[in-house]
Amino acid sequence: MSEERKIIIRDFKQAVNMTPKQLQNWLDTDDSKVVGQKDGNDESIGHKSGKYIVKLLQRQSDYSEDDIAQMQRVISYVKRHSAQRPSGEVKNTHWRFSLMNWGHDPLVTA
C-alpha cells in the first residue's frame, strides 16, 4: 500500500469519530434528513455520504479507489466545515447535524 493511501486512511479514521452503529442510528433520524445540500433528489449529499461511510467503517480494509476518493471528500468536508463553527451552543444546530451526516460529531472529545 502506498504511503499516500495509508495517510488518507489514517486521516479518514481521525476525521470520522462516530462508530458505524452511532452513524447509522443518526442517519435514521429526522434531524439528519433535513440538513445538507440536495443534488436534485430528496436525499442530501451528506446523508448519502453517511451511508457510504457506514459501509467503509464496517469493512476496515480492501478499499477501492472510489473508497479512497470518498475518504478524501470526508476529510476535506470535516476540515472545511469544522472551521466554520458558529459561536455559542452548537448541540442542536444544522452545523453540527451536517457534520454528523459525514461521520463527525464535533461534541465528541478524544
pLDDT the model gives residue 41: 72
| 108 close to 18: Cβ distance less than 8 angstroms | yes
What is the predicted pLDDT for the residue at 37? 79
pLDDT for the residue 109: 75
Boundaries of domain holding 64: 3-101
Q: What is the mean pLDDT of the chain?
A: 92
Residue 7 lies in a domain: yes
90 belongs to a structural domain: yes
Report pLDDT digits (tens) over 51-72: 999 999 998 788 999 999 999 9
Position 110 scores a pLDDT of 58
The mean pLDDT of 24-46, rounded to a whole number, is 86
**Angle, to 10 degrees, between the axis of helix 65-82 and the axis of helix 94-101?**
160
Q: Is residue 32 part of a domain?
A: yes
What's the pLDDT at 74?
97
Q: Long-range contact list for 30-37, CB < 8 A, 24+ apart? A: 31/97, 32/97, 32/100, 32/101, 34/94, 34/97, 35/94, 35/97, 35/98, 35/101, 36/98, 36/101
* 110 falls within a domain: no
- The pLDDT of residue 80 is 97
- Is residue 21, in this structure, part of any structural domain at all? yes
Tell me the C-alpha to C-alpha distance, in Å, between residue 20 and each of 6, 28, 46, 83, 85. Answer: 21, 12, 15, 24, 24
Q: CA 50 to CA 83: how far, in whole Å?
A: 20
Residue 109 placed within a domain = no
Domain count, the chain: 1
106 lies in some domain? no
Bigger pLDDT: 44 vs 102: 102
- The answer as to whether 107 is a domain residue is no
